Structure 1
């Protein structure tokens, strides 16, 4: 039995074609699950923390860095005040009111902060060691269950969107950890499919983006496929192949098209945007794909931008002197390294109420909870003109008001890249497409079809299944492969 697997940045799904009928795998009550896994673990016992000579040296080093940072920050504020004093009224008063009053922290306080940071890093290292040893892997939770368990404060490790990290430069230990996570997710899919299909599933076709998110250009894509291949075999598959996701979506659209038509497939997911031109429809068993294009941008980029523009000002962005990258670290929940850096940063020096809000945001589960709220707001704004997010878990009565215009602004960088991608494809096509087939979660956004119509004004727009277009095609491709083997 060969199945198709859409191992997505945001959501994953699987399916098979049995006796000519599509059968999608159920994950709980749904036909997909959030690509997130939670590994229950016991937190390290902080009573076991001991200050070795090396850790004491680290504390002294950090204390010195904190002292220098404080002096630099105070000097910058003095310079801003001196500059403001040279302004005429009322500009002078306005600028002076915007400059926070610095709090001078004593050496004892700075050393206390350094010790706390060293202690947190020690606890994080103990956590990573436990994960590498495979602690509680068999009790892993997936999807929304995983997010809920983490938000509720259960001890353990939450990994959001591991696919987005596959193409980045990884140390050996980080690669092994990511391989273990991908293995667990693929094993979860294989075992769930085996139980529902009544057979031991051992072969699969996995969707892959045209271009993976990567810090190593083409080498990152090679690494990503190597990790996914190794993870598939470790998960119990004996055979695994890959098919570019827009080509897979073409397979799905091909099944319901009676007449042949030249079609541009546009698949916009959480992490990547992919396109392919294919002849779909008619009596042939499979579409004919002529070319593909891709960019590593998608819905998660809009989520982060929306959080930065609409929510992070409530935490001091643009109001305090907190570096902008700290707010980005808080928003990028799929990036484990950035999340770790955010949690390690002390915001106690930031003026009220922003410092307290940032410290509260560092608590376990809170950045993920905020990200989920922003993502849901983005989806609701496809139909509503404004949305209000309640942030009581940060501060009683704290609200974030987001309107459709703010979402439009947040989507602008993504739409710029989407426009460039489509214009590049248009320039390379011998003939314009008759049809543009839209799939992927971001295809629901009202601004996407408007842009598509601008670039391809004569093409018919066909809205496919935003969530299941790719996995449907992968299931048909898997069935086609079985037929070829007979």
Structure 2
């Protein structure tokens, strides 16, 4: 049995082929998508829980070392794990939101996999994180099918990381492959996510077209210029149909982070000054919400940074705002701030203004954000996305017959207007914003594993 597996930055989903059509499987209750989140009592609990309750052993000496250290750290803290202590998806998010200080919470580990400068121990730990998530998803999918799954076609972005080039891509894909094997898959193959989305869109065409696929997901934006249509259906060798690719780690998460930075962080002191008229350091307001940057998160939540924050509060012309930033530090509220920005972004795709409440930081504290303010806040990632579109067109050397937009973030009116302005007169269409990659992966798995 094979599946198409979209291990996404924001959500994960899987699909199987039945009677020539993809069917998405339920992974969390009645939902076919499960948020890419994990929650455990401690960071070290992840590796121990994976071994103790999910039956997944380390595959090398480094993994065994990580496991031994994890078990020792948990015993030092008198933490005895019980089944059910590690949660996934919405259940993990709900637990984190109810008590952020008392849990270890991870969102979108895919964002870290291609990071530069990771030590071997960090890579081994990320592999444990991904393995745990994949193992949970495989178990849920097998429960839905009532049969075992041996083969998987996993989607991957064109580039996992903004820098690092092919070395970063190899590192990230290697982590995903090893994790999938540890989770129990016997055969693991990969396909570019925009190509997979294109394969699903191709099934709707009655004549050949040259299509620019623009896949704007939670963590990456990927563009592929593809020749597709009836002449290409189910052909094993599609190399000559792939005319150009571009991709970068910029997506929905980046829009959320920039929106939080420009519109929410001023309530925590961003843009204010000290009593002597010196500007507050920008990094202290960026790092807590840079949830896709391991180094930034480590710098902000480091023990030594608390003394720096306390000094900033004493020096501040508006100390009450810096006190809110310190509360973010103590209660680990960075993820919550980004989530509020994400909810605001979604609301602003359908309305002209939205109020964001920040009651966790102060009673009756809220911020009103308009569509135009959001557009200004996300200008930097919007420009990056427009450059990727231009790059794919120039690399292919052709203008597309149409543009197919997919990925959850592609619903943004600001981004759709960007595409229309870059390619005037070319039809822009969309299908399943959230399911096209998964469906296309299932279609390609049927070709690859037959």
Q: Could you say which TM-score interval applies, normalised by the shorter chain?
A: 0.7 to 0.9
CA distance in 2, matches of 1:355, 1:331: 15
Secondary structure in 1 aligned to 2:383? helix
Secondary structure in 1 aligned to 2:230? coil
Corresponding position of 1:25: 25
- What are the superposed Cα offsets for residues 90-138 of structure 1, whole Å, 9 maximum, x if unpaired? xxxxxxxxxxxxxxxxxxxxxxxxxxxxxxxxxxx9899449x995686
- What are the superposed Cα offsets for residues 255-284 of structure 1, whole Å, 9 maximum, x if unpaired? 111221111111011111111111222254
Gapped regions of structure 1 (runs ≥ 5): 45-124
* RMSD of equivalent CA atoms: 2.4
2:205 pairs with 1:257 = yes
When residues 42 and 165 of structure 1 are mapped into structure 2, their CA distance, relative to the original with a 3 A threshold, is closer
CA distance in 1, matches of 2:301, 2:322: 13
Corresponding position of 1:398: 365
When residues 334 and 362 of structure 1 are mapped into structure 2, their CA distance, relative to the original with a 3 A threshold, is same
CA distance in 2, matches of 1:149, 1:130: 20
CA distance in 2, matches of 1:231, 1:379: 32
When residues 15 and 478 of structure 1 are mapped into structure 2, their CA distance, relative to the original with a 3 A threshold, is same
- What are the superposed Cα offsets for residues 416-471 of structure 1, whole Å, 9 maximum, x if unpaired? 11222222222233331111100011110002221212222232111121111111
Corresponding position of 1:317: 270
Note the C-alpha offset of 1:365: 4.7
CA distance in 2, matches of 1:236, 1:126: 23
CA distance in 2, matches of 1:213, 1:257: 33
Of 386, 390, 403 in structure 2, the residue corresponding to residue 423 of structure 1 is 390
Note the C-alpha offset of 1:42: 10
Q: Indicate if the aligned counterparts of 2:4 and 2:15 stay in contact, CA closer than 8 A.
A: yes
Of 247, 252, 264 in structure 2, the residue corresponding to residue 294 of structure 1 is 247
CA distance in 1, matches of 2:95, 2:168: 32
When residues 164 and 43 of structure 1 are mapped into structure 2, their CA distance, relative to the original with a 3 A threshold, is closer
When residues 283 and 42 of structure 1 are mapped into structure 2, their CA distance, relative to the original with a 3 A threshold, is closer
2:143 pairs with 1:142 = no
CA distance in 2, matches of 1:428, 1:291: 5
CA distance in 1, matches of 2:42, 2:394: 53
- What are the superposed Cα offsets for residues 323-377 of structure 1, whole Å, 9 maximum, x if unpaired? 1111111111233442332233222331420232112112335222221111000
Q: Which has the larger radius of gyration?
A: 1
Corresponding position of 2:104: 157
Q: Indicate if the aligned counterparts of 2:256 and 2:339 stay in contact, CA closer than 8 A.
A: no
Corresponding position of 2:40: 39
Q: Indicate if the aligned counterparts of 1:13 and 1:471 stay in contact, CA closer than 8 A.
A: yes
Secondary structure in 1 aligned to 2:224? strand
Of 276, 296, 303 in structure 2, the residue corresponding to residue 338 of structure 1 is 296
When residues 414 and 170 of structure 1 are mapped into structure 2, their CA distance, relative to the original with a 3 A threshold, is same
Map residues 73-472 of structure 1 onto 2, 5 A cutoff: 129-130=73-74, 139-153=85-99, 155-168=102-115, 169-213=117-161, 215-282=163-230, 284-286=232-234, 288-320=241-273, 321-344=279-302, 345-346=305-306, 347-349=309-311, 350=313, 351=316, 352-472=319-439
Secondary structure in 1 aligned to 2:432? coil
Corresponding position of 1:48: none
Gapped regions of structure 2 (runs ≥ 5): 46-68, 274-278
Give the structure-1-normalised TM-score: 0.78
2:15 pairs with 1:15 = yes
Secondary structure in 2 aligned to 1:457? coil
How many residues end up aligned between the 2 structures?
Answer: 402
Secondary structure in 2 aligned to 1:362? helix
CA distance in 1, matches of 2:219, 2:2: 26
Corresponding position of 1:6: 6
Give the structure-2-normalised TM-score: 0.84
